[in-house]
Amino acid sequence: MSAEPSVRVEDKLFYNRYLVDAGRAHIKVRPHSKPSPELLALLKACPARCYELNNQGQVEIAVDGCIECGTCRVIGEASGDIEWSYPRGGYGVLFKFG
């Protein structure tokens, strides 16, 4: 009996490629002094780990690795904490299938 090989999300994400639209982030965190519970949830909810805390305790995003899954849209746009849109045509994630 052979065991299934374990695959980590990070290993699979490594195969994706991104065309970064420099200076035009498609997701923005609204300015805040103290993050809401929804913003803090994004630190763990984003599968690509695009969200992080800065030294001032505020949530920031680096969209370069975003896989456009929409998780943060559900959590953060509904609460008014982020602005979410798809990247311009031709930019963003390039999925590799197979």
Binding flags for ligand SF4, 14-43, as an x/- string (CB under 6 A): -------------x----------------
Site size for ligand SF4, by CB under 6 A?
12
Nearest to 63 by CA among 33, 29, 89: 29
For β-strands 17-19 and 92-94, DSSP reports them as antiparallel
Contact 76, 84 (CB under 8 A): yes
Residue selected from 69, 85, 95, 96 as contacting ligand SF4 according to rule CB under 6 A: 69
- For ligand SF4, give the closer residue by CB, 2 or 17: 17
- For ligand SF4, give the closer residue by CB, 2 or 77: 77
- Dihedral (Cα; 7, 10, 13, 19), 10-degree rounding: -170
Q: Number of C-alpha atoms within 13 angstroms, CB side, residue 84? A: 17
Residue selected from 39, 41, 59, 72 as contacting ligand SF4 according to rule CB under 6 A: 72
Site of interaction with ligand SF4 (CB under 6 A)? 27, 46-48, 50, 66-72
